[in-house]
Amino acid sequence: MSSTTTITPSTSKLELRTAYGPVFRDVLNTPPRDCTADEIPIIDLSPLYSLKIEDRKELAKEIRAAAVNTGFFYIKNHGIKEDVIADAKKQLLAFFKQSTEDKMKISQAKSKGFNGYKGPGRTNISPSESMMWQYDPQYDPDPKPLDAIPEEVKPWIRGEEFVWEGTSHLPGFKEEVLAYWAACLTLSRKLVRIFALSLDLAEDYFDSRTTYPGADGVFNYYPTTTEEQRAKNSVGLGSHTDLQLFTLLWQDMTGGLQVLSKDGQWVKAVPVEGTIVVNIGDFMMRLCNDMYKSTVHRVYNRSTVERVSMPFFFGKLEGQSSVSVVNQDLGLNFNCVEGVVPSCTSPENPPKYEPISCGDWCQLRFSLESNEMKKRLAREAQEPSAAIVAA
């Protein structure tokens, strides 16, 4: 006679904040492992620049497979020049190596939105430091007459000059940071066309919707960790999903980025020289009725050296959420910008989401974060945006 014992691996429950309140995920308590090439594939982006539509459609297929699977992939041959990246990284370090007083010249407290510098522990999820600058049409690499910006778009434009004024003492800062940002924006506008193809939409589907896009540049700085922090198992950036269409994430070679796999295990998105990580954001997931995955990720900086990363969040913020248009081709009523896209719905798979603008969407989540922050501060809690609530 034989008996079998099934050992069920232990799990913890992770609470994640979303625009609609907390959601819970089971996470295996096994140690993080390296990702496999299937989970986070390296996609060669050269066909992005091909004049042949067949090449671009082939690329779209690869991207679709990755977006449906883990929602994370690396891109190589992406077209952003290495010296543009190196200059941006040099400026990132020049900024964070300043005194606190100098960094506070562009404190986020001065911003009407989320521009500027945020010191360690200033949000729910991040003991790292960061600096952010948002879309401003005057720096758009696809130039547009500034006096022709539609009135309804103006309130969504969030770039603020104090970020550049308060860093003007750093030689080349504004030029080199914006050169990197502009390269990310140009790449994103090309990539979003491939995303359109990948969703069986016309290649130009998103074009008119990304004239004045959400295009947030961020510098993250993770200082070296101390023995004590490592002993306390404290993280660099707590578990979260990104909000917008997709993120281009340049990370240095230190490592620490981890992604929650489909089977609920943390896997390491190991740095690959010459690549940028792309991950799907919540708004993209929503647009395609959950077909593409906005995946939970975090940064564990267990290293004795500092780590830096430069994410670029690409979405769209044109404030047209109340304008409903008729799609002539499909005879469907849908919101031109923010409804679930028509190719991702069918009678068996009706839209799960109401139309909303990406700006409103982000606002929902940010206000929730900020309310939570107040509550948390009141409780003097130290938890990140996602917390283990039961083991």
Ligand X SMILES: O=C(O)CCC(=O)C(=O)O
Please state whether 255 falls in left (phi above 0), alpha (psi between -120 and 50) or beta: left
The pairing of strands 21-28 and 266-268 is unpaired
Q: Would you count residue 87 as binding Fe ion (CB under 5 A)? A: no
Nearer to ligand X, 192 or 257 (CB): 257
Nearer to ligand X, 242 or 369 (CB): 242
Q: Which one of 55-63, 234-242, 288-296, 319-327 is the stretch in contact with Fe ion (CB under 5 A)?
A: 234-242
Whole-angstrom Cα distance, residue 362 to residue 227? 36
The first and second tokens of residue 368, run together, are 């929730």
Contacted entry of ligand X, Fe ion, none for residue 196, CB cut-off 5 to 8 Å set by kind: none
Residue type, 68: V
Nearer to ligand X, 163 or 199 (CB): 163
The number of residues that bind Fe ion (CB under 5 A) is 1
Go through 42-77 and write b for each residue having 16 or more CB atoms within 10 A of its CB, e for each that does not: ebebebbeeeeeeebeebbebbbebbebbbbbbbee
Nearer to ligand X, 251 or 275 (CB): 251
Q: Which of 132, 157, 237, 337 binds ligand X (CB under 6 A)?
A: 237
Q: Would you count residue 63 as binding ligand X (CB under 6 A)? A: no
The number of residues that bind ligand X (CB under 6 A) is 11
* Count of C-beta atoms within a 10 Å radius of residue 101: 7
Q: What one-character-per-residue DSSP string does 12-58 give? A: EEEEEEETTEEEEEEEE-SPPEEPPTTTS-EEE-GGGG-S-HHHHHH
User: 246 pairs with which residues across the strands?
Assistant: 280, 314
Q: Which one of 49-57, 225-233, 249-257, 320-328 is the stretch in contact with ligand X (CB under 6 A)?
A: 249-257
User: C-beta of 181: minimal distance to ligand X in Å?
Assistant: 15
Nearer to Fe ion, 140 or 242 (CB): 242
User: C-beta of 114: minimal distance to ligand X in Å?
Assistant: 12
The first and second tokens of residue 140, run together, are 């758009």
Q: Which of 66, 182, 257, 341 binds ligand X (CB under 6 A)?
A: 257
Q: Which of 140, 216, 242, 338 binds ligand X (CB under 6 A)?
A: 242
Q: Would you count residue 216 as binding Fe ion (CB under 5 A)? A: no
Nearer to ligand X, 124 or 309 (CB): 309
Nearer to Fe ion, 247 or 345 (CB): 247
Q: Which residue is nearest to Fe ion (CB)?
A: 242
Contact 214, 113 (CB under 8 A): no
Q: Which of 177, 196, 267, 299 binds ligand X (CB under 6 A)?
A: 299
The pairing of strands 307-314 and 215-222 is antiparallel
Q: What is the largest CA-CA distance in the chain?
A: 84
Nearer to ligand X, 59 or 218 (CB): 218
Residue type, 366: F
Using CB under 5 A as the binding rule, the residues of this chain from 237 to 256 that contact Fe ion are 242
Contact 285, 352 (CB under 8 A): no
The pairing of strands 257-260 and 266-268 is antiparallel
Query: What x/- string results for residues 308 through 347 when contact with ligand X is judged by CB under 6 A?
Result: -x-x------------------------------------
Helical residues (DSSP H) of 97-137, grouped into ranges:
100-103
Whole-angstrom Cα distance, residue 306 to residue 301? 8
Residues that bind ligand X (CB under 6 A): 218, 220, 237, 242, 249, 251, 257, 297, 299, 309, 311
